């Protein structure tokens, strides 16, 4: 008969610490090894297994609300990454193992407790000697286990696929892995440190764990660095123009992209959604992140949520996300995304004919003028209600993050 055996695993440090940048926090991670040796009561077979947790931050021991119960749970906390979060290897087994399968479950918090999702989560690979599990596409609470199917005596089959249904009753099975793994994306770390919650749950002890294993990455304009490669043939509509150097900078810095089909559309308008997206990237990189977001539906929702979370802008600030953005609105977003007091004033005698001191955005606009980020037209006018083009946005953004491009008058 098939039997289930729950195994208690003892964690032992395996590898040296690694570091991963987490949207404002540099989180120390390590690879841990679970070493487990024992005898299965149901069959008498002995085993020696090895289990690794990659990108491991630490463990939480809490009463976890699952369904209608509160479980005494030990939760492994990992930083989401490309490596499998859980690896299981069977080093020695006294019986005959025919194969292994993966079990990956995702839990969602709602109504005061975690419920197991009906949808399959994660991916991986398995075989008679073990398996590896990569948890889900996003951060969250998961379980990751490898189930081994075996018999005491050799049944003469190579794999579990060879075993007839009628003989499955002669098999035993057991599992190794992690009952609960909290997988954190880089932005989850920053969000939790700022708000104390993830998806509505407070996670007792997590803030202390993260604080002990991370350091706040310094904020500042020095965090803006090129990581993409711009070439003259990247876009068909940007070469040998007044804005060429600005487009190349914002592309290299990961702040703006093309519009598809090899075009940047410099004279096209910037939509509100695109402006909010830019502000989210600016804020994230300024605070030590990488400016990379996982898009959903609609594509701009993740940026809008981020902007609202950090008081850059809220959905109520705009009547539509798809309409063209004004020059005033872009300036407002930019000063909300970064600390403009860090900008050096290189222009002192600044007058803006169409933005009086009584204007609610005067302080923001004048600071950008004095820093050489905004220049206005030949009369110094800002034209706050005029729709802004993508070329103008590229120029303003490039001057904001690159001091050598700022204009002194």
Per residue in 233-262, pLDDT (tens digit) is 999 999 999 999 999 999 999 999 999 999
Q: What is the mean pLDDT of residues 332-361?
A: 94
User: Would you place residue 63 in the very low, low, confident or very high pLDDT band (cuts 50, 70, 90)?
Assistant: very high
Domain boundaries, the chain: 10-216, 221-405
- What does the alpha-carbon distance between residue 9 and residue 105 come to, in Å, rounded to a whole number? 19
End-to-end CA distance of the chain: 85
User: Would you place residue 24 in the very low, low, confident or very high pLDDT band (cuts 50, 70, 90)?
Assistant: low
Residue 55 CA neighbour count, 13 Å, CB half:
25
10 or 99: which leads in pLDDT: 99
Q: CB of 35 within 8 A of CB of 52?
A: no
pLDDT in tens, 159-174: 888 999 999 999 999 9
Q: At what angle do helices 272-286 and 301-309 cross, to 10 degrees?
A: 60
Indicate the range of 64-78, 120-134, 379-393 predicted with least confidence.
120-134
Residue 257's Cα: distance from chain center in Å? 20
Instruction: Give percent above pLDDT 90 in the chain.
Output: 64
Full-model pTM: 0.56
pLDDT at 2: 34
Q: What is the mean pLDDT of residues 358-378?
A: 94
Instruction: Give percent above pLDDT 70 in the chain.
Output: 90
Average pLDDT, the chain: 87
For residue 90, the surrounding DSSP H or E stretch is strand 86-93
For residue 107, the surrounding DSSP H or E stretch is strand 96-110
pLDDT at 6: 32
User: Would you place residue 305 in the very low, low, confident or very high pLDDT band (cuts 50, 70, 90)?
Assistant: confident
Residue with tokens 């598809």: 260
> Taking the C-alpha atoms of 23, 293, 86 and 148 in order, what is their torsion angle to the nearest 10 degrees?
160
Backbone angles phi, psi at 278, to 5 degrees: -60, -45
- What does the alpha-carbon distance between residue 168 and residue 182 come to, in Å, rounded to a whole number? 34
pLDDT at 124: 67
Residue 326 has pLDDT above 80, yes or no: yes
Residue 133 has pLDDT above 80, yes or no: no
User: Would you place residue 104 in the very low, low, confident or very high pLDDT band (cuts 50, 70, 90)?
Assistant: confident
Secondary structure (3-state) at 26: strand
pLDDT at 263: 97
Q: What is the mean pLDDT of residues 380-394?
A: 97
pLDDT at 383: 97
199 or 115: which leads in pLDDT: 115
């Amino acid at each position: 008969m098939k039997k289930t055996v729950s195994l208690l695993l003892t964690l032992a440090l395996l590898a040296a610490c690694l570091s991963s940048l987490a949207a404002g926090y540099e989180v120390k991670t390590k690879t841990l090894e679970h070493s487990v040796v024992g005898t299965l009561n149901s069959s008498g077979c002995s085993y020696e297994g090895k289990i690794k947790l990659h990108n491991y931050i630490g463990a939480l021991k809490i009463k976890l609300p699952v369904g209608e119960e509160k479980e005494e749970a030990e939760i492994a906390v990992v930083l989401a990454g490309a490596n499998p979060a859980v690896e299981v290897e069977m080093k020695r087994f006294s019986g005959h193992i025919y194969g292994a399968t993966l079990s990956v479950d995702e839990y969602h918090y709602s109504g005061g407790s975690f419920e197991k999702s009906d949808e399959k989560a994660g991916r991986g690979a398995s075989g008679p000697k073990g398996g590896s599990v990569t948890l889900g596409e996003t951060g969250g609470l998961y379980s990751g286990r490898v189930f081994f199917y075996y018999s005491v005596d050799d049944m003469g089959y190579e794999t579990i696929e060879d075993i007839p249904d009628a003989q499955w009753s002669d098999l035993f099975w057991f599992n190794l892995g992690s009952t609960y793994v909290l997988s954190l994306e880089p932005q989850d770390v920053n969000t939790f440190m700022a708000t104390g919650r993830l998806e509505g749950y407070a996670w007792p002890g997590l803030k202390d764990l993260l604080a002990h294993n991370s350091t706040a990455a310094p904020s500042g304009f020095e965090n803006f660095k090129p990581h993409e490669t711009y070439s003259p043939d990247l876009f068909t509509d940007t070469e040998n123009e007044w804005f060429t150097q600005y487009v190349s900078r914002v592309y290299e810095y990961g702040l703006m992209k093309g519009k598809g089909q090899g075009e940047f559309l410099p004279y096209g308008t910037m939509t509100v959604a695109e402006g909010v997206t830019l502000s989210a990237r600016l804020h994230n990189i300024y605070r030590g992140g990488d400016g990379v977001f996982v898009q959903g539906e609609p594509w701009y929702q993740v940026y809008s949520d981020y902007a609202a979370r950090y008081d850059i802008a809220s959905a109520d600030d705009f009547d539509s996300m798809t309409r063209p953005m004004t020059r005033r609105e872009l300036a407002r977003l930019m000063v909300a995304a970064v600390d403009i007091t860090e900008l050096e004033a290189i222009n002192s005698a600044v007058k803006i004919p169409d933005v009086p001191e009584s204007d609610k955005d005067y302080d923001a606009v004048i600071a950008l003028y004095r820093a050489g980020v905004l220049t206005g037209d030949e009369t110094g006018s800002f034209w706050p209600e005029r729709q802004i083009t993508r070329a103008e946005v590229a120029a303003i953004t490039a001057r904001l993050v690159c001091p050598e491009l700022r204009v002194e008058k």
